[in-house]
Structure 1
Amino acid sequence: MHYLLEKLHRDHRNLEKILDLLTSQLDHFLAGRESDFDLKIELLEYMEAYADQGHHPLENVIFTIAKPLVGERAELMDRLMTQHQMLGQLTRTFRNSLENIFQGGVMSRDELEVQGREFIALQRQHLSLEEQEAFPMLDEILQESDWAKIIEQSPNHDDPVFDKPDKLRFQTLFEYLSKAEHNGE
């Protein structure tokens, strides 16, 4: 497997951790238990800062180069790139809702739950589609010359939590992850 596919797979595992944490925080909030709004907002900021601005653009370069090579499966490449745009918008909408509530705005728990559950479900479905269908196909079809073009066109965007930590911007998230790691979670 090409190192860029391995990197994307690693990113997906990290994004699953973020989605698990967001699910847990959302569950606590909706059950009326203590929930950390700073953490939830940072989780969405991370999704914007890395998934939407680094991870998805890299995948889009790969999908664009692969599209003419995959024949009938070109529709899958188009669908995944369209999902990237939709997921970016869902991320911004959900983060804005959380920030609004944090700043004293009014929104029903039901409405927030629908937004949150939809966001998490669609993110998970997207990751699964890439892992189960797109990545195996790309691994099989793309040749070294294709990967060279991909590398040439790829954005250089480090993961601000798992690769090159930005501990100031994501302080609450780092504290939570460090505590969870220390407790063996």
Structure 2
Amino acid sequence: MLARIHTDHAHIATLLALLDNKANRLALGQEVSLPLVRDVIDYLQRYADHSHHPMEDILYQYYLEKQGKGAETVHRLGQEHKVLAESTDQLMDTLNMILNDAVVPRERLIADLRDFAHQQRHHLEQEERYVLPVLEQELTEADWAILQQKVATKLIEDPLFSEGNDQEYEDLRAYLAELEAEAP
């Protein structure tokens, strides 16, 4: 389970770097593919907010119930999932408005993209640095077995990074493959 969380975090970090790149290009006056940006946000909304974070919430709640007091960081990061989902929804609304020809100032979109990526990245860093190492150290194999059963209903196949034939994010997947091929 922790391996999946770490993998999800790496994938999300890749997408956040893509959003940073798009915000920087917009700031330079360059054109970007807003449908591609919307696909990133859609993926985060549909996968991270509806599978990844609920899985973490179950894990965090289990840990909090087992530990009782002294787990403020775990509790705070679990609560952040609601805020992250709201900011994802807001950014999706903004992108949909733009793609439906509503006038949204470029500066607002740039700021929204940068703020969103920063907020998401900070959350991931806090989980990776402070929470996941504690859970790995303090939970037993029996705990992980119980947790695996508890999260089973939340786990879905990753629609972007899995090996399945899901065509839903075909353009985004192709774009990421192209970036990977260009990397030194």
Question: How far apart are 1:59 and its partner, in Å?
Answer: 0.5
Q: What is the distance in 2 between the residues matched to 1:164 and 1:86?
A: 30
1:63 maps to 2:60: yes
Q: What is the distance in 2 between the residues matched to 1:166 and 1:101?
A: 30
CA-based RMSD: 1.5
What TM-score do you get using the length of structure 2 for normalisation?
0.92
Deviations 1:108-163 (A, max 9, x none): 22222222111111101100000000001001111112112211110221111112
Instruction: Show structure 1 runs of 4+ deviating over 4 A.
Output: 164-167
Match of 1:156 in 2: 155
| 2:142 aligned residue (138, 145, 155) | 145
Match of 2:167 in 1: 168
Cα 1:138/1:90, change in 2 over 3 Å: same
Give the aligned length. Answer: 182
Match of 2:28 in 1: 31
1:87 maps to 2:84: yes
What secondary structure, in the 3-state scheme, does the structure 2 residue paired with 1:105 have? coil
Q: What is the distance in 1 between the residues matched to 2:105 and 2:164?
A: 35
Deviations 1:83-127 (A, max 9, x none): 101101101110110111122111122222222111111101100
Q: Give the AA of the match of 2:170.
A: Q
Unaligned runs of 5+ in 1: none
Between 34-43 and 61-70, the greater mean CA deviation after superposition:
61-70
Q: What is the distance in 1 between the residues matched to 2:182 and 2:115?
A: 30
1:178 maps to 2:181: no
Question: How far apart are 1:179 and its partner, in Å?
Answer: 1.2
Cα 1:39/1:108, change in 2 over 3 Å: same
Question: How far apart are 1:71 and its partner, in Å?
Answer: 4.6
Q: Give the AA of the match of 1:169.
A: E
Question: Is the contact between residue 158 and residue 164 of structure 1 (CA under 8 Å) also seen in structure 2?
Answer: no
What TM-score do you get using the length of structure 1 for normalisation?
0.92
Question: How far apart are 1:184 and its partner, in Å?
Answer: 2.7
Match of 1:74 in 2: 71
Between 175-184 and 13-22, the greater mean CA deviation after superposition:
175-184
Match of 1:134 in 2: 131
Unaligned runs of 5+ in 2: none
Match of 1:47 in 2: 44
Question: Is the contact between residue 54 and residue 158 of structure 1 (CA under 8 Å) also seen in structure 2?
Answer: no
| 2:108 aligned residue (107, 111, 116) | 111
Cα 1:132/1:172, change in 2 over 3 Å: same
Q: What is the distance in 2 between the residues matched to 1:165 and 1:42?
A: 18
Q: Give the AA of the match of 2:175.
A: Y
